[in-house]
Amino acid sequence: MHKFLRTIGFSLYEKDREIDKLLDKLCEDLSDVKRIQIDEESNLCEIRREVAPGMGIAIYGEMDRDGKFQRMYYYPYLKSSDITSEVSCSIQRHTERETYAGLLDEYKVGISLIFYIDNSFECRERIIDHHSMDTSYSCLTGLAVSGKVLLPIQKSDKQREKARVAAKDRNNLLEAAKNGDEDAMETLTIEDIDLYSQASRRVMKEDLYSIIDSCFMPCGVECDQYSVIGEIIKN
C-alpha cells in the first residue's frame, strides 16, 4: 500500500487486498488508457483516475495482444498549475521502474531538491521521439500524512524587508559560488558558521519554532521526502 494514499482520501483502505480490489475496479474501463510501444514485445500503458479536482491515482502497466491490462505499479498524484521554479531541472530515470526523478538546484530553498516526476509518461515519449528533456519551469506539489499549524513569529515590516534583502544577497552569493567565485564561497562558509553559532546559543533558552520560521530538509531515508516549515499564503 502506498504511504500517501490516505492523503488523497483513501485513509479507510488499510490492507493490500483492499487496495488491489480498488485498483482492479479503476482498471475496468480501458477506453482512455494511454499507450506507447517500448519495443516489439513490450509496451507501457498509463491509466489516470481522478478522485477530486487535480488529484487521483496513476496506474501503470502493460497490455497484451488480447487487450488485457497487467498492472505493475501505481501512485497517488496531485496536479498544480502554479509555477514553483524556473530553474533548469535535471531528469533521470529510476533503476527498477519506468519512473523518473527530477533535480532542482533551487537557491531560495538552500538545497538540491529531488522529487518524483508525475508526467513520466511524457518523459518516455520524449525519449522515444528523441526530443530534448530540457525544461523551462517546474510545478511542484506535495503530499503529506501529517502536519501541524503553528502560530507565526511576530515580525515588523522592517524585519520582513531585512529578511527579503538578506535572502536576495544570499542567492547572489550562491550563484557566484556555483560559478567558481572563491570569495563568495568563503563568505557563505563564514555566514553558515555564524548562523549555526547563533542558533546553538538561542536554542538553549528559546523554543526551536521561535527561531526557525522556514525549513526544507530531507526527512527519512528516501531522497524525495522532506520536512517542511513555511507560511501558509492561501488555502
pLDDT digits (tens, 9 = 90+) for 129-140: 888 888 888 888
Domain total for the chain?
Answer: 2
Specify the 3-state DSSP secondary structure of 55.
Answer: strand
Say yes or no to pLDDT of 74 above 90: yes
Rg (C-alpha) for the chain, rounded Å, is 22
Whose cell is 533521470? That residue is 92
pLDDT band at 57 (very low <50, low <70, confident <90, very high): very high
Residue 75: the pLDDT is 92
Which residues constitute the domain of residue 14? Answer: 1-79
In the beta sheet, which residues pair with residue 102? 91, 115
Residue 122: the pLDDT is 87
Alpha carbon 6 to chain centroid, angstroms? 17
Examine residue 190 and state whether it is found in any structural domain, yes or no.
Answer: yes
Examine residue 15 and state whether it is found in any structural domain, yes or no.
Answer: yes
Examine residue 53 and state whether it is found in any structural domain, yes or no.
Answer: yes
pLDDT tens digits, residue range 143-162? 988 888 888 888 888 888 88
Of 79, 104, 138, the domain-final residue: 79
Say yes or no to pLDDT of 26 above 80: yes
Examine residue 132 and state whether it is found in any structural domain, yes or no.
Answer: no
pLDDT band at 56 (very low <50, low <70, confident <90, very high): very high
CA-closest candidate to residue 61, choices 52, 50, 72: 72
pLDDT tens digits, residue range 160-180? 888 888 888 888 888 788 788
| pTM as predicted | 0.78
Examine residue 109 and state whether it is found in any structural domain, yes or no.
Answer: no
Examine residue 131 and state whether it is found in any structural domain, yes or no.
Answer: no
pLDDT band at 229 (very low <50, low <70, confident <90, very high): confident
Name residues whose C-beta falls within 8 Å of residue 154's C-beta, 6 or more positions apart in sequence: none
The highest-confidence range among 1-5, 16-20, 27-31, 179-183, by mean pLDDT, is 16-20
Percent above pLDDT 90 for the chain? 14
**Quick one: 151 exposed, middle or buried, by C-beta within 10 A (0-12, 13-18, 19+)?**
exposed
Say yes or no to pLDDT of 106 above 80: no
Examine residue 31 and state whether it is found in any structural domain, yes or no.
Answer: yes
Residue 58: the pLDDT is 93
Of 14, 44, 79, the domain-final residue: 79
What is the pLDDT of the chain when averaged over all its residues? Answer: 86
Examine residue 50 and state whether it is found in any structural domain, yes or no.
Answer: yes
Helix ranges, the chain (H): 16-26, 120-128, 157-178, 182-202
Of 26, 48, 79, the domain-final residue: 79
Q: What is the mean pLDDT of residues 175-189?
A: 85
The interaxial angle of helices 182-202 and 157-178, nearest 10 deg, is 140
Q: What is the mean pLDDT of residues 82-88?
A: 85
